Amino acid sequence: MPRYTGSCHCGAVRFEIEAVIDRVTECNCSICRKKGILHHRVAADGFHLLSGEADLGTYRFGTMAAKHHFCKTCGIHVFTRPRAAPELYTVNVRVLDEFDLSRERPEIVQFDGLQWEENVASLK
């Protein structure tokens, strides 16, 4: 299984994932659209926070179910514990150190998060 490391901009928060990244999700909900996140789901046993637990902030809104984690120093969104699957992590592939979107070319799946309730069943 491939391993990737990721971090926030200042490097305070660092993590590692074990995942095949062949598909990412682009959500158009209010927060994902504004942050430009490309989500990739990772099982809990494939996600390892390496450093920066004390540097993590958490933002919640709406139902308060999803936990959007960001670096309190530089503000970069690094990962989420998603509302649709709280047992998983979704990492923002844009913060992975060695993952080049233009080279890797994963399938980018559009998700209509503005109509979350009607579309959540389509998430994989």
Return the CATH class of domain 3-110. mainly beta
- For the entire predicted model, the pTM comes to 0.87
Strand runs (DSSP E) across the chain, as ranges?
A: 3-7, 14-18, 23-27, 39-43, 47-51, 56-59, 67-71, 77-81, 88-92, 107-111
| Residue-wise pLDDT tens digits, 70-124 | 999 999 999 999 988 999 999 999 999 989 998 989 999 887 777 767 767 777 6
Q: CA-to-CA distance for 115 and 113, rounded, in angstroms?
A: 5
